Amino acid sequence: MNTLQIKNLSASIADKQILKELCLEIPQGEVHAIMGPNGSGKSTLSKVLAGHPDYEVTNGEALMNGVNILGQDADEIARSGLFLAFQYPVEVAGVSIANFIRAALQARLPDGESIKAVDYYKDLYVQMDELGMDRKFTSRSLNDGFSGGEKKRCEILQMSMLQPQYCILDETDSGLDIDALRIVSAGVNRMRSKDRGFLVITHYQRLLEYIVPDVVHVMWDGKIVRSGDKSLALELEAKGYDWIKEEIAA
Amino acid sequence: MIQATEFDIDTEKGNFRFDTDYAFDAGVGLNPDVVRYISNVKEEKEWILNFRLKALETFLKKPLPTHWATDDLKNINFDVIRYYLAKGQKPSRSWDDVPDDVKNTFERLGIPEQERKFLAGVEAQFDSEAAYSNMKEGLEKEGVIFVGPTEGLRDHPEVFKKWFGKVIPTSDNKFSALNSAVFSGGSFIYIPPGVKLKQPLQAYFRINAENFGQFERTLIIADEGSEVTYMEGCTAPKFETSTLHSAVVELVALKGSKIQYITVQNWSNNVYNLVTKRAMAEEEAEVRWIDCNIGSRLTMKYPGVILRGRKARGEVLSIALANSGQHQDTGAKMVHAAEETSSNIIAKSISIGTGRSSYRGLVRMPKHLKNCKNNTECDALLINSDSQTDTYPAITVQGEGNSVQHEATVSKVSADQIFYMQQRGLSEGEAMSLCVNGFVNDLIREFPMEYSVELKRLIDMEMEGSVG
Ligand SMILES: Nc1ncnc2c1ncn2[C@@H]1O[C@H](COP(=O)(O)OP(=O)(O)OP(=O)(O)O)[C@@H](O)[C@H]1O
Ligand SMILES: [Mg+2]
């Protein structure tokens, strides 16, 4: 039951089919990586799972702990435990990081209960310290004017504050310098637990040296065409995607 | 872009109504007899009656300003409006003496509680007349006057007559003329020299009757070196037909005095809110208008300051929130009429659904004056793809060493922003609320605490109601 199970998922946007009967399962306790060429549908998969209203699901299910989340509102899916670290985090002027995360935590509480400010800030500062973020970030507007790397760190900060059951990281490594890559990976590794599943989307096997995956999948034209252990990532890095293309064609 | 959903514009707080009997009712429609009726009920002096009758003539002669303003003004039917409704009671000094139906209304709006907590004095107006009016002990002894216009002109003519209708002449515009003909209720305030009120005075304007027009008249005189903060709140229940609120507010800030005038308007969505507000600031005086417009069908309001004395300062901070079916046509006027005067305008508007907000600004600095300064900033936030905003700045700067800074921005809440925030667990309404609060936050920080809390709450309610 404690698994995210995607069955024959097809989805399209603007009448263009992107996901084609995709199947994938991420049990809690495991880290799965997806690699795949540009435009193969990796971000689409993550947004469809997160409930983006622009995509039309034409087939299949996505069962989170047994409940189909497709068709639910994005906020509902989020509150039931799915987190997406965006490939391109959006800037929101005027909304400070501290207020935003607090509002997100508050949204998870039953009516009438509220976050204790003191405890909240204590937590927030601990997480920020771990991620090497300056405290002055708390009062800055969400992602507004952040460098690429700062945005990604801010995504991981939110993830560590919200403690989701399933985390999808969409190219969180791109835009990070070597040190940041190490810090962010450590942040993710700290959160690895038997109660949490990860789906890590990346183009670079380097990230998978820090966040060692249990399974690596290759996505091609809207579906998973290969799965294997972490050596598959090395093979892809060495050989590129052409050999897969040939094998599919064969 | 986000789809416009069904919008429930009512903020509910003011949307209730207890049955009420009226002892005085001027009937429906407007003519000289109605004006005489009002004047007679108030037992006014001859000069006031004549002032009113002349104003009525001006009102009838003046066309609607539709050559620059919205055609929606044509939908006001002046013949079906009731211009005066009152229970015939003098304003009480104790809530215990206020009739139950009226008292319950104000209790539900939280007025007596606020009075206990942080106000120096309160006047609560129910339709045409004040039901309650009281000031903290001691203020009277210091010479502070806080009464309605009837009492003000009758009991303190030496204070008020001199300025009455001087900052805003009857003929200023069609609606100032209308107000001058049928005005009733409002606050007449005098702060003696050097007296600095630590707590605000507050008036609450409540429309309770359908097809009714509320025409309060306010005149605040801050004598030399005095300081006062005045706050007004307004609500009305949601009626089927439209209601008219047309006030005239005149402020006189004498040498070295400070007046801060705060409005948090929360009208229901069928109120035409057409208000003229202007201040005169003498040497080194400061006038600050804080103006928050939520609700109403159409609001037209451009608080102004005539900077008449050297080093006078004027400021307008305004927030307008236009939900579907609403048009907030607001702005500011700064007329620099002395050297070294300075003015600051910060206007933020939010348009939701099919809501429309317009900014109209006027800044004038004539040639012969030196060292005048104005800063104008107007920012608009659009929530949906069919939300609208427009800006009409009119800036006339002549003269050397005068400086004007004008900045305008328009931003949109994008579907991507909402999705991002929803992905973190916030509902669509909460996400929008957060964006809107973020947008107005730096301005709200300038407001007195009690009002910023109330305003944030109103914005949250408005945003909650604005999504499916
Ligand atoms: N609104 C849209 N209209 C039409 N096509 C779209 C739209 N959004 C995405 N697509 C297409 O969907 C396909 C999959 O895009 P997606 O972003 O999921 O790819 P990706 O695997 O994440 O690529 P990358 O590695 O470059 O991040 C692309 O061909 C893209 O052009
Ligand atoms: Mg992508």
Domain ranges of chain B: 24-301, 420-468
Alpha helices in B351-448 (DSSP H): 415-423, 428-444
**Coil, helix or strand at residue B383:** coil
Q: What is the ipTM of this complex?
A: 0.96
| Contact predicate A52/A86, CB 8 Å | no
- How many C-beta atoms lie closer than 10 Å to residue A149's C-beta? 17
- How many C-beta atoms lie closer than 10 Å to residue B96's C-beta? 7
Alpha helices in B321-448 (DSSP H): 415-423, 428-444
Beta carbons of B420 and A93 less than 8 Å apart: no
Closest ligand, as measured to the CA of A18: 1
Which residue's alpha carbon is at the smallest distance from atom 6 of ligand 1? A13
Which residue's alpha carbon is at the smallest distance from atom 8 of ligand 1? A13
Chain B contacts in chain A segment 120-149 (CB below 8 A) = 141
The two three-digit tokens of residue B235, written as one number: 């609500």
Query: In whole angstroms, what is the distance from residue B166 CA to residue B266 CA?
Result: 29
What percent of chain A lies above the pLDDT cut of 90? Answer: 84
Closest to B355 in 3D by CA, of B316, B377, B388:
B388
> Among all residues of chain A, which has the CA nearest to that of B439?
A94
Beta carbons of B422 and A75 less than 8 Å apart: yes
Write b or e for each residue in B396-415: b if 16 or more Cβ atoms lie within 10 A of its Cβ, otherwise e: ebeeeebebeeeeeeebbbb
Q: In terms of C-beta density within 10 A (0-12 exposed, 13-18 middle, 19 or more buried), how is residue B176 classed? A: buried
Q: In terms of C-beta density within 10 A (0-12 exposed, 13-18 middle, 19 or more buried), how is residue B49 classed? A: middle
Calculate the CA B120 to chain-centre distance: 20
- In degrees and rounded to multiples of 5, residue B432 shows phi and psi of -65, -45
| Contact predicate B328/B321, CB 8 Å | yes
Query: In whole angstroms, what is the distance from residue A129 CA to residue B245 CA?
Result: 55
Q: Tens digit of pLDDT per residue, chain B (468 long)?
A: 333 333 333 345 677 777 677 888 888 899 999 999 999 999 999 999 999 999 999 999 999 999 999 999 999 999 999 999 888 878 888 898 888 888 888 888 888 888 888 888 898 888 888 888 888 888 999 999 999 999 999 999 999 999 999 999 999 999 999 999 999 999 999 999 999 999 999 998 888 888 889 999 999 999 999 999 999 987 777 777 788 999 999 999 999 999 999 998 888 888 999 999 999 999 999 999 999 999 899 999 999 999 999 999 999 999 999 999 999 999 999 999 999 999 999 999 999 989 999 999 999 999 899 999 999 999 999 988 888 999 888 888 887 788 888 898 998 898 999 999 999 999 998 998 899 888 998 888 887 777 777 777 778 777 776 654
Alpha helices in B277-408 (DSSP H): none
Rounded to a whole number, what is the distance in Å from the CA of A242 to chain B's nearest CA? 34
Beta carbons of B423 and A84 less than 8 Å apart: yes
Calculate the CA B48 to chain-centre distance: 24
Q: Grade residue A248 by pLDDT with cuts at 50, 70 and 90.
A: confident
Which chain A positions have a beta carbon within 8 Å of B379's beta carbon? none
Ligand 1, residue A219: give the atom nearest the CA: 21
Beta carbons of B428 and A103 less than 8 Å apart: no
Sign of the alpha-carbon torsion through A43, A45, A46, A47: positive
Calculate the CA A107 to chain-centre distance: 20
Query: In whole angstroms, what is the distance from residue B114 CA to residue A62 CA?
Result: 52
Q: Any chain B CB within 8 A of the CB of A103?
A: yes
Query: In whole angstroms, what is the distance from residue B128 CA to residue B154 CA?
Result: 18
| Contact predicate A198/A32, CB 8 Å | yes
Query: In whole angstroms, what is the distance from residue B468 CA to residue B384 CA?
Result: 13
pTM: 0.84
| Contact predicate B308/B338, CB 8 Å | yes
Beta carbons of A100 and B422 less than 8 Å apart: no
Give me the domains of chain A, ranges plus CATH numbers: 3-90+165-249 (3.40.50.300)
Q: What angle do CA B440, B444, B447 make, to 5 degrees?
A: 160
Query: In whole angstroms, what is the distance from residue B85 CA to residue B20 CA?
Result: 11
Q: In terms of C-beta density within 10 A (0-12 exposed, 13-18 middle, 19 or more buried), how is residue A132 classed? A: middle
Q: What angle do CA B387, B389, B392 make, to 5 degrees?
A: 165
**Mutation target among B423, B435, B442, B463 for the A interface, most CBs of A within 10 A:** B423
**Coil, helix or strand at residue A131:** coil
Q: Any chain A CB within 8 A of the CB of B427?
A: yes
Which chain B positions have a beta carbon within 8 Å of A79's beta carbon? 425
| Contact predicate A149/A177, CB 8 Å | yes
